[in-house]
Amino acid sequence: MTFELYDKFLAASKNPNKTEKLQQIRDLVQKELPEHNRNVLAFIMQHLNKIAEHSQVNKMGVNNLAIVFGFVILCSLFSCPSNIVFVQSHFI
């Protein structure tokens, strides 16, 4: 994801209508996410899907993966502590 699209992804994720939510997220990924980011996201999602396929053994089902990786994949420039330190050390 990109920091610039964070607010749009967050707004889409809060849509109570599941069909609209999925369409909004799909549109953001397909139409606004840069190609390189889209390729990386596709690779990561394929890998996480493989992990979820073995959830009976590794206890990492979709919900657990979302808890662990959701914040890392979708995080704003100022919501991640490591990003705040980076910004402070380089720009302030």
pTM for this prediction:
0.72
CA-to-CA distance for 14 and 67, rounded, in angstroms? 16
Residue 58 has pLDDT above 60, yes or no: yes
The mean pLDDT of 29-58, rounded to a whole number, is 95
Tell me the residue range of the domain where 54 lies. 3-91
Q: Lowest-confidence range among 9-13, 22-26, 53-57, 78-82? A: 78-82
Token code pair at residue 25: 């997220």
Instruction: CATH number of the domain at 34, please.
Output: 1.10.555.10
**Looking at residue 92, what is its pLDDT?**
53
* The total number of structural domains that make up the chain: 1
- Reduced to 3 DSSP states, what percent helix, strand and coil does the chain have, rounded to the nearest 5? 80, 0, 20
Buried-state track 52-61, b at ≥16 Cβ within 10 A, e below 16 = beeeeeeebe
Asked if 53 and 82 count as a contact pair (C-beta separation under 8 A), the reply is no
